Amino acid sequence: MNISDVARARFNMIEQQIRPWNVLDAHVLSLLADVQREAFVPAAHQALAFADMEIALGHGQFMLAPRLEARMLQDLQIQPEDKVLEIGTGSGFMAALLARQGRSVLSLERIPALAAIATQNLRQAGVFNVDVRVADGAQPLAGNERFDAIVLSGSVSKVPKHVLDLLTVGGRLITIAGEEPIMQAHLVTRISDTALRRTTPWDANAPRLHGFAEDSHFHF
């Protein structure tokens, strides 16, 4: 695609896919217009960079559809001083969006080859406040870091307690959870050291994040 075709495809993605999904936050829409999604898409799938679909990254991993990324970003309400955790870096696009809103991002990717690609994509895009770490987010994170926002860039059956424990008071977590054919976005806010508030604001299916336990009955 030439420059004008890319600009038109990006505009159509925002106006025909993302806005109709109740993503109306001006800052989020501006980010999606500004951060070059195509720079995070494998060369073999460039023609699909703005399509309403998951994009294969290899190793059984996928970029989420643009409307899902946009709605998750909007619901998290990232603040400029937020410390953010992403589980499932993929190609680095969601990390780039998070980094433009928050103070810093730690993004965990269990597949070393994808972590290397994401790091390169982020550097080439001029994003330097993301630390891509080769690690399995389904396992406890070493150390005592806590985060103001957490996003799981894929679906899980349930969110392990060790992930919820990483939230600061006031911190938010979003993921897509449940079992096909019906999954829901789960937005969790820590309202005190011992209490969480949970909502399920919208329905959507997404590819599984590998490594997380399966459960036929969703619960936190």
Q: Does domain 3-199 correspond to CATH entry 3.30.110.30? A: no
Task: Show the low-confidence residues of the chain (pLDDT under 70).
Answer: 1, 216-220
Which position has the token pair 């909007």? Answer: 74
pTM for the structure as a whole: 0.94
How confident is the model at residue 215, as a pLDDT?
73
How confident is the model at residue 218, as a pLDDT?
44
Strand boundaries in 88-204, DSSP class E: 104-109, 130-134, 147-156, 167-179, 182-190, 196-199
How confident is the model at residue 142, as a pLDDT?
87
How confident is the model at residue 126, as a pLDDT?
97
How confident is the model at residue 219, as a pLDDT?
46
> Torsions phi, psi of 114, nearest 5?
-70, -40
How confident is the model at residue 217, as a pLDDT?
53
> Torsions phi, psi of 181, nearest 5?
-90, 0
Q: How many residues are given for the chain?
A: 220
Residue 96 belongs to what H/E stretch? Answer: helix 93-101
* 47-93 pLDDT tens trace: 999 999 999 999 989 999 999 999 999 999 999 999 999 999 999 99
Q: Could you tell me how far CA 124 lies from the centroid of its own chain?
A: 19
